[in-house]
Each structure stands twice: as C-alpha cells, then as structure tokens.
A and B are shown apart, each in its own frame.
Chain A
Amino acid sequence: MAEAIQKKLKAEVEKYAQMQKDVSKSMSARQKLETQLTENNIVKEELDMLDSSNMVYKLIGPVLVKQDVDEAKATVAKRLEYINGEIQRYESLLKEMEKKSEKHREVLSSLQQEFQKAQGLAR
C-alpha cells in the first residue's frame, strides 16, 4: 500500500519539478521580451523626432541600407505591436501555469498525507 503511494508521489513530484522548470523558462522569455520592448520604444521615440529631411539607414548584416523614415517607423510600430502581443500571451500562459502549480501542490500535499498514513498503518 505505502509503496504504491510512494511511487505515485514520486511521479507527481517529478511532474511538479518539470512544471516549475517550464514556469521559469517562460519567465525568462517574458523578461527578454520586456527588454526588447524598452529598446524598441526608445527607437520609436527617436524616429518620431525625425522629419522627412533625415535619412534613416538599417543595418542588415554588415551593410547599411537606406530606408524611408516612414517605412522605419512602420517597422518599429509593427514590432512593438508584436512584442506587446507576445508579452500578453506569456502573461496568460504564466497565469495558467500558476493555477496548475497551485492544484499540483494540493495534490502533492494530500498524497503526502496519504503516504504518511499508510506508512503508519504498515508499522
């Protein structure tokens, strides 16, 4: 009896650890997006200060390519939109994971109690 529960408990603990790993992975991905968001916001601010008399160049590999100010603005705006969307996606993902871990913790603690009880009986 106790052994069966112990096996189950072990499997659950492993699952839980895997989930924690996923959570921290998503966390760092979200943080990266946050950095990109700040960076792109700074670029947007700079581009917004320009007028059509300014030339904009985009670094592609080792080459600087001439680009329209409006085009550059559109690219950055699109990028910002994408990053914001991704951040929201990760936010909801993390929330869901948090809920799942919460449930998992409950399952774990009840299993632990069961195990202790079974162990007590075995003795």
Chain B
Amino acid sequence: MAVNLADLSLPQLEGLKSQLDQEVEFLTSSIGQFKVVQTKYVEAKDSLNVLNQSNKGKELLVPLTSSMYVPGTLNDVEHVLVDVGTGYYVEKNVEDSKAFFKRKIDFLTKQIEKIQPALQEKHAMKQAVIEVMSVKIQQLQQGQQASQMVGSTKA
C-alpha cells in the first residue's frame, strides 16, 4: 500500500492534497462540534450547583420567552430532568445528574483525544505532499528555463 510520493505525477498529488484537505477539514469540524457539546455539558453541570438546600424556597424568575419572565419559587432542589437522547428524559437527583454530565464530558474528551492524533497525522501527510509538489514544480520550471535557453542560443 505504501506509495512513494515522489513517484506520483503533479495532478495525482493535487488530487491527494485536496482529498487530505477534505479529511483535515472534516476532522477539525468534528473536534469543533465535540468541543461545543462539551461546553454545553460543563455549563449544565455547573448550573446544578445552584440547586442546593440553602436555595430551597427562594424566589426566581422563570423565562417564558427570551424577553418575558414570570416569578416563581424554587420548590424542588433535589430532582432534575435530564435529556439522555432520542426523546427520552430521565428524572435524576442532583448527584446522579452531576455524575451523568461528568460521564458525558469524559466521553467527549476521550473522543477528542482519539481524533487529535488522526488529525495530526493527516496534517503531516498534507505537508509532505505540498513539499513534494513544490519540488516537482521547481524541477518543471527549471526544465522549462533550460529548454528556453537552448532554444534562444540556437536562434
């Protein structure tokens, strides 16, 4: 399977480069998405800290829309509903919910760690391809110049 990059022609290298470009972009956007979701989970986990006994019965404003709020009291500081995916919500106590979010954050960290080396590898490959390409282009230009020189001396 191993192919010597120097053996490939310029158009082939061009194709390889655009393919690598696509892969790098895909992996980068995947990591970006993972990070966005991870931030959401971190925020959710942090906001659970507000739910403690000392805040029980306190008044708060519940957003009905993004610009309209109604007053309410914090009645239950023990239970929250967590979205576990595909439309299922589970009622969990605060401790379990924190554990849930921690699990999700760890899972995402692991996935990102899995992708990162692949991305670096693709980057290195792309760099190698670009290098070979520039060498080839230089050779091509030198060859052209040489043939021009020959042509002009003949004339």
Residues of chain A at the chain B interface (Cβ within 8 Å): 39-40, 42-43, 46-47, 50, 54-60, 64, 72, 76, 79
Q: In the assembled complex, which residues on chain B have CB atoms less than 8 Å from the CB atom of A56?
A: 88-91
B155 CB to closest chain A CB (Å) equals 40
Contact B92 A43 (CB under 8 A): no
Kindly state whether residue B85 has any CB partner on chain A within 8 Å: yes
Contact A64 B89 (CB under 8 A): yes
A39 and B91 alpha carbons, distance in the complex (Å) = 19
Interface residues of B in 82-109 (CB under 8 A from A): 84-92, 100
Q: In the assembled complex, which residues on chain B have CB atoms less than 8 Å from the CB atom of A47?
A: 84, 88, 90
A69 CB to closest chain B CB (Å) equals 9
Residues of chain B at the chain A interface (Cβ within 8 Å): 81, 84-92, 100
A57 and B85 contact, Cβ closer than 8 Å, known pairs A46-B100, A50-B90: no
A60 and B91 alpha carbons, distance in the complex (Å) = 16
Contact A55 B86 (CB under 8 A): no
Contact B88 A59 (CB under 8 A): yes
Q: In the assembled complex, which residues on chain A have CB atoms less than 8 Å from the CB atom of B92?
A: 54
Contact A55 B91 (CB under 8 A): yes
A43 and B86 alpha carbons, distance in the complex (Å) = 7
Q: In the assembled complex, which residues on chain B have CB atoms less than 8 Å from the CB atom of A72?
A: 88
Contact A59 B85 (CB under 8 A): no
